Amino acid sequence: MATFEDETEPETPSAEASIYIMKTAIGREQTASERLADRVRRSGAPVWSILAPSKLRGFVFVETDSPELLRDNLKGLTHARGMVMVKGIGYGRSKQPDSFGTSTLEELKPHLTPPPAVTGIAEGNIVEVIAGPFKGEKARVQRIDEGKEEVTVELFEAMVPIPITVRGDHVRVLEKEPN
């Protein structure tokens, strides 16, 4: 194993590191985050993480302790629209300068773990199987296994009612059962 004399330990975020919000063109969040990551790598700016949640369109979250360097790296970046600004608080004219909008890790947690594939499916719902050997068939949901993210359905057009188990993301709800 080769070692280098000038090799240093990777830096870790400081206590002042915050999560800043970058505005992007809608639908271009992933591209903007990748370009920002490339630019940050080249400039050596202290950016610890970049998150582009698929469900939150038009925004990318960046963890850094230097929002000014982040703003400088955003200048001229394709699909980046700048950083979210928060106006100073006060009556009339604010004595506080505008500051960059930040977010907490607690606010981001729902975006870090995807919801289960069976979310939105209930027993009794009419679904369409959208993948697998029964693709295109309509069925009624008999049972839901949230742990395995599977749904047991009974096909409508089968000669003999046989329950089949499919993955939760292989069905699409057509009609919800009235309460």
CA distances from 147 to 117, 134, 144, 173 (A): 10, 23, 9, 19
CB within 8 Å of 96: residues ≥ 6 apart: 88, 89, 90
Per-residue pLDDT, 89 = 40
Give yes or no for residue 9 having a pLDDT over 50. no
Query: Of 51-55, 143-147, 166-170, where does mean pLDDT reach its minimum?
Result: 51-55
Q: What is the pLDDT at residue 16?
A: 61
Q: Does residue 61 contact residue 19 with C-beta atoms inside 8 Å? A: yes
Whether 140 contacts 156, CB under 8 Å:
yes
Average pLDDT (38-65) is: 87
Residue 128 pLDDT greater than 90, yes or no: yes
Mean pLDDT, rounded, for 21-37 = 90
Domains of the chain are 18-112 (3.30.70.940), 126-175 (2.30.30.30)
Query: Which pTM does this prediction carry?
Result: 0.55
**118 contacts 144 by C-beta, under 8 angstroms:** yes
